[in-house]
Chain A
Amino acid sequence: MKKIILAVAIAAALTGTASAQTVRLGTEGAYAPWNFIDDSGNVAGFEIDLGNELCARAELTCEFIINEWDTIIPNLVGGNYDAIIAGMSITDERKQTIDFTQDYYPPDPSLFAMAGDADIDFSNLSGIKIGVQGATIQAAYVEENFGANNTVLSYETADQSIADLSAGNVDVVLADGGYLSPIVEGSNGALKLDGPSIMIGGGVGLGLRKEDDELEAKLNAAIDAVKADGTLDGLIAKWFEVGPFYSN
């Protein structure tokens, strides 16, 4: 019995020291091309490349942890991981709970995607079904501006909203332009973008616990560095092709 207790104590001590050095990055794994599960079953995408680059420059050992979008902020605050890197827009509302690094993706207008043959009057939206991912800036925006006259359907993942759009269960989906554009591009006319582009968020940054100032400073310095030498624009070009970029 004593041996077991000792073994458990040693294991606890070991994992304790290991987690003190390793920075755990929480991501969703269902928001291509930002973060997704690739064909070999590993987490991949723009933010995985970027996260690894930032950690290399800040001389941190990092690992990725997959967490549902719904609970991604509470689980950061609870300590399940140390940073959120999941295409999260910097908003004042979120800043009340967590801190953000500077943005690593420029402010990105939200766009409407719909079926290729759809004809929707955006000057007077009423009686249509609008799909959004729950707990996003778009969800709050749609609820406030179109909630009264339309049906708002909120999905757990953005992928599910696109799947339902393809299946014809919703009329339009409102989401980040950087997420929708490549999807529409790749859909070969099955989907299209139409209507106004709406600026809601203020760029995308890493989310951090308020007390982790040291980590915030390290990551901010690393983001400065990848912005300055063009690495960041290179990654954006690799995953999003059309930008938006930091240099002009």
Chain B
Amino acid sequence: MPDWLTQLLGDDLSFGLSYITNGKHLAWYASFRFTIIAALAGALFALFFGLGGAALRQSRFAVLRSIGALYCNIVRGVPDVLFFLFFPLAFEQSVEWLMSTQACSAADLAANTGTWPPCTEANWFLGTSEYLALACVSLGIVYGAFTANVIHGAMQAVPKGQLEAARAFGMHPIQLLWRVHIRQMWIYALPGLSNVWMLLLKATSLLSLLQIADIVLWADRLGAPNYLKQVGLVHPDWRWRYYLVLFLFYILVTYLSERGFAVLRRKLGHGMIRVEG
């Protein structure tokens, strides 16, 4: 830190400033990227799964309809923490099982029936990026079910006359779906989608469950009391201060999202009949 800044701030403040900009804290700030990536990528996946789920529920075929309904109802009912733990583990072990059928020798398979994976070649090492990708997909699947429900409802809300008019023009069902139905659905879906986005945002605090060194894990580490001089600054339990920063972060993101959705609502509402106040 430059001398003039130290003089300007005084010893206490400049010590505080240099403490919250040390490597450990920089690593914490950098870990916000995991949360942001998980929220954005998770939302993209959720939209994708949501559109898919809604399309299945609209389908003409009873089998597809029931698959869509099953997805919406079952996944919405499973606690997100549980799914968050279940899906990455199940996925990892399925991949390892597939690898073991190729890579492991028959002798290895016979010798290691009780251990997993049966041979080291079939071990799939999951680092932070792999876990992050799996976390995004898990978020996508869980909140995709909510999104599917919202979109399904919104599609029902599009005035039937609009669809009949499109049909009367001789539009193909795909054209009708894409150009009329989905186009007009957004304005009805938006309030529900903003809700799902908020839920998804909150669920991003679960990343540390998957061994990702995310903002919550770092807040825990940094705030834990330290009594050892050789470890660094000796301080009592400071966890609440770090949690408070996380509160503020989430509140800020909530505020920005609200603003974003207000803009979207105005844009999508152009030329539409006003649906709600």
Contact = CB atoms under 8 A, between A and B. Distances in A.
A79 B224 contact: no
Contacts of B23: 38-42
Interface in A165-184: 166-167, 182-184
B227 A160 contact: no
Given A78-B120, A166-B237, A182-B227, A30 B232 contact: no
Chain B interface SS verdict (over half): loop
A68 B27 CA distance: 18
B103 to A, nearest CB: 12
B24 to A, nearest CB: 5
B174 to A, nearest CB: 30
Contact of B221 (A33, A37, A79, A191): A37
Contacts of B116: 78
A30 B211 CA distance: 13
A166 B238 CA distance: 11
Contacts of A77: 115
Instruction: Specify which of A39, A40, A68 lies most central, judged by the most chain B CB atoms within 10 Å of its CB.
Output: A39
Contacts of A184: 227
A34 to B, nearest CB: 11
B224 A163 contact: yes
B128 to A, nearest CB: 10
B153 interface: no
Nearest to B232: A39
Nearest to B229: A186
Given A39-B23, A79-B125, A163-B237, A68 B211 contact: yes
Given A39-B24, A41-B26, A187 B221 contact: no
Given A38-B231, A42-B23, A162 B225 contact: yes
Contacts of B230: 32-33, 239
Contact of A187 (B27, B220, B227, B232): B227
A213 interface: no
A185 interface: yes
Contacts of A63: none
Nearest to A164: B237
Interface string B183-216: 0000000000000000000000000000100000
A32 B234 CA distance: 12
B203 to A, nearest CB: 20
Contacts of A37: 24, 27, 221
A92 interface: no
Nearest to A158: B224
B102 interface: no
Contacts of B234: 186
Looking at B23, B117, B233, the one whose CB has the most chain A CB atoms below 10 A away is B23
Contacts of B24: 37-41
Contact of A183 (B120, B228, B232, B239): B228
Nearest to B96: A78
A69 B221 CA distance: 15
A231 to B, nearest CB: 18
B227 to A, nearest CB: 3
A21 to B, nearest CB: 17
B125 A32 contact: no
A226 B220 CA distance: 35
Contact of A30 (B221, B227, B236, B239): B221
B58 interface: no
Contacts of B236: 166, 190
Contact of B27 (A41, A67, A80): A41
Contacts of A104: none
B113 interface: no
B226 A32 contact: yes
B99 to A, nearest CB: 12
Contact of A38 (B26, B229, B232): B232
23 contacts: A30-B221, A32-B228, A33-B230, A37-B24, A37-B221, A40-B22, A41-B27, A42-B23, A68-B211, A78-B116, A78-B123, A79-B120, A79-B123, A160-B224, A162-B227, A163-B237, A163-B239, A166-B236, A167-B237, A182-B228, A186-B229, A186-B234, A187-B227
7 A-B pairs with least C-beta separation: A41-B23, A186-B227, A40-B23, A39-B232, A41-B27, A79-B120, A183-B227
Given A32-B230, A183-B227, A186-B228, 14 more contacts: A33-B230, A37-B221, A38-B23, A38-B24, A39-B22, A42-B23, A67-B211, A78-B116, A78-B123, A80-B125, A162-B227, A183-B228, A184-B227, A185-B227
Interface of A: 30, 32-33, 36-42, 67-68, 71, 77-80, 159-160, 162-163, 166-167, 182-187, 190-191, 239
